A and B are shown apart, each in its own frame.
Chain A
């Protein structure tokens, strides 16, 4: 038998009337890892989380914690704790009472409660906050108290329902790192759900990308970013240029695609074998495109999708300055708009608006997927 997972879902399905919110999801999370479920709002991730916590009952399938089915257990009997989206700290109790609540429910002795409360406050870095009212805490502190309130109970799995959503950007960046640190410090399995891909990629050991109630792909952040297996994952994780088109022909190394606006590209099949004439979508990451300056005269000759490399001529339409992540917008001669990373090296080589440039990228940089809805597999 395989190693026992902290949390395992087997074919979990949830229907609300005719609507299928979660459609046959199966996964196992090994002990002590940080697992994220990433998906747009309405993809079913919250429903899945609520089923794990016991607030919803699956229509089909099984949920196991530490190898034992928990379907027959009420929410208050499951050793799965949940950090709510808006944290749900009890406003009528102070910090210490909030943390002690779960221990008191368990019937832990008074002295032991005080000791463990102080201990967990120490671990989340707020050793003197016990007597504070919830209203006196900052957003980041509330976050840590919400986690402490769960962690004091030694859960098998900690579920987090987009807890960073309400924070401002600066604090969110900081809390990402802090959450990751807390997780490795406690060594508890975290299941984190979010619609923010950067949260999922930065913090997680493994990420499941969810769409329409299904897992599209489960893998390490690096895999999802570099080797997406579906068009949805390619489009949802990270930024991409995205063009619809059709397969012109194929060869052993990949396919040649003509986009709807007439651009010819060399691409590789990332999501299964394609046939000639298939409707496809091509994804190219901005960082895989290299930009070089060009004379206006040779720019037209440079357009070439016939070899192993893609070369496209165009003119700069605008610059999106964002420090190290700056981009330029290029309009190709066929009229496509392409986003590419602004080269960081050397002096500015004249990337002004209207300047002619040549864009070049490897065939493996353009990933080609059958267009959603026309995929023969479903």
Chain B
């Protein structure tokens, strides 16, 4: 075998796992779901091809309202996650000492070792009617009867922010870590106050990290299932719940598949819109072209 064909074989073997993964786990299932979504049931075991499942979605306000609600809550969660995550990331990357930095970063990562389910139950122990917070409020006398803190929108939002905040912090820490401190000092030296330096230097510099974190957080939130169900209960009205219901409860796979495709399209559209508005490209969030 000559050098060239060896090189080609090596390349192929290195790419093989990736190609298999893309083909078998991403492309194939989506193609399957997509074909399924175009199948209309006309009689038991009789199907035709058509957009009926999609039309159903638009005909029934509860469906698209749920999707819009899910999307707007996801945007809200993303914004809150940024507000909570940015100061933490800034502290870890720029203010904390070298030793503390590692410990703090690790501290942020530890909750990831516990499953979402357990973390959601953690919230339930705290917030349910007989939970820790309710009992504490009664004990201090602020309230006289047990209060139910679960099953409302605010709790869902708080729970989601808690679940995904890490995915905002990690990319932010790594972008801010790569930022030369002298840029911040130059910002002050040239006459900027804290706000100017933050707004005109730190945030623009961290933009790729902010966008990367926001995309991940938005996608995770829009596609999350456990947290909204457990903390929001029956009336959380999360779109994944609708999909689940179509697939499992109603056994209407065609409709569920259509909803799945719609969720994917809708979130992709939102991300694209976000990129356009922030003036970033997907490529710039992955790699920075250094000067």
A binding-site residues for B, Cβ under 8 Å = 53-55, 74-76, 80-82, 84-86, 88-93, 101-102, 105-106, 133-135, 149-150, 153
Contact = CB atoms under 8 A, between A and B. Distances in A.
Contacts of A86: 180, 182
Contacts of A102: 190-192
A84 B291 contact: no
Given A86-B182, A88-B180, A76 B189 contact: yes
A242 B142 CA distance: 83
Most buried by A among B188, B189, B196: B189
B33 to A, nearest CB: 40
A88 B192 contact: no
B185 to A, nearest CB: 6
Given A76-B190, A106-B191, 4 more contacts: A74-B188, A76-B192, A90-B183, A92-B204
B190 A91 contact: no
Contacts of B291: 89, 91, 133-135
Contact of B191 (A105, A133, A135): A105
B200 interface: yes
Nearest to B192: A105
Given A91-B291, A133-B291, A134-B291, A150 B190 contact: yes
Given A91-B205, A92-B204, A101-B200, A149 B182 contact: no
Contacts of B289: 135
A176 B179 CA distance: 29
Nearest to B207: A92
B262 interface: no
Contacts of B60: none
Contacts of A53: 185, 189
Contacts of B185: 53, 55, 75, 82, 84, 88
Contacts, number: 68
Overall SS of chain A's interface: mixed
Contact of A76 (B188, B200, B204, B290): B188
Overall SS of chain B's interface: helix
Nearest to A77: B191
Nearest to A107: B191
A85 B290 CA distance: 18
B281 to A, nearest CB: 14
Given A91-B290, A135-B291, A82 B191 contact: no
A55 B184 CA distance: 11
B188 A75 contact: yes
Contacts of B191: 76, 102, 105-106, 153
Interface in B162-212: 180, 182-183, 185-193, 196, 200-201, 204-205, 207
Nearest to A135: B291
A81 B192 contact: no
B190 A153 contact: yes
Contacts of B183: 88, 90
B196 to A, nearest CB: 6
Contacts of A55: 185, 188
Nearest to B179: A91
Contacts of B188: 54-55, 74-76
Given A91-B290, A92-B204, A101-B200, A85 B182 contact: yes
Contacts of A76: 188-193
Contacts of A93: 204
28 contacts: A53-B185, A55-B188, A75-B185, A75-B188, A76-B191, A76-B192, A76-B193, A80-B189, A82-B185, A85-B182, A86-B180, A86-B182, A88-B180, A88-B182, A89-B291, A90-B186, A90-B201, A91-B205, A91-B290, A101-B187, A101-B200, A102-B191, A102-B192, A134-B291, A135-B290, A135-B291, A149-B190, A150-B190
